[in-house]
Amino acid sequence: MEETEVGVEVDQGVVTLTGTVSSYANRMAVEEVAHRVASGLDVGNDIEVVIPGSRKRTDTDIAQAVRWVLTYDIEVPHERIQSTVADGVLTLSGSVDFRLQRGDAERAVNRLAGVRKVINSLTVSVAPRRPEEVRREIEAALERRADRTAKLLHVAVRDDGEVTLSGPVHSWPERRAVLGAARATPGVRAVNDRLRIEAYA
């Protein structure tokens, strides 16, 4: 059985989480729920990760597991990613090609046994691309994902790789798909979300 005991306190709109959970992923899941359910914008997460079992995993054990995951389990430029583990706190540094890879790397390692916290310091190495080229690629990706929605969306791309998406989508999953398609496009540095959800007529 997992060792889980979480306490919640609210003081002047600030939510404080305390207690223990069995993994870093569970710690982040509780924090996400607190942000979503509590009306306050500020959450202090003092939850401690306690790994079940008698043998404590060493930082070297964790570092070896991180290298294996990055090399064999997900598609990232693992040779450009470094990890440092100190007292269960894992720091990822180096560079990846896409924002999607940055998130994939963090998600892959945050469930490893012994990891108490992940600090994602990976940077995205984006080769300069012309804005109109990036815009055409995003529009093509949107058309592949959502034919009806793509015709109604407006894509604006600045010289520095910042993209603004505006227009109607028909559901939250569709919104996430549209944003994901833009973020995964080479040359995109950041995405401004100005999409609005409209039900089908």
Euclidean distance between CA atoms 121 and 112, whole angstroms:
18
Does 162 have pLDDT greater than 50?
Answer: yes
Q: What does the pLDDT look like over 11-33, one tens digit per residue?
A: 777 788 888 887 777 888 888 88
Other beta carbons within 10 Å of 47: 24
Is the pLDDT higher at 127 or at 129?
129
Contacts of 1 by beta carbon, 8 Å cutoff, 6+ apart: none
pLDDT of 3 over the 60 cut? no
- What class is the 59-124 domain? alpha beta
pLDDT at 118: 92
Residue 1 has pLDDT above 50, yes or no: no
Average pLDDT over residues 80-95: 91
Percent of the chain exceeding pLDDT 70 equals 88
Helix axes 99-109, 172-183, angle to 10 degrees: 110
In this model, does residue 148 exceed pLDDT 70? no
Residue 103, pLDDT score:
87
Among the ranges given (45-49, 60-64, 130-134), the one the predictor scored with the smallest mean pLDDT: 45-49
Same fold, 59-124 and 131-197: yes
Percent of the chain's residues with pLDDT above 90: 18
H-helix or E-strand spanning residue 137: helix 131-145
Domain positions in the chain are 5-49, 59-124, 131-197
Q: Is the per-residue pLDDT at 66 higher than 60?
A: yes
N-to-C CA span, the chain: 49
pTM for the predicted model, two decimal places: 0.47
* Domain 131-197, architecture per CATH: 2-Layer Sandwich (3.30)
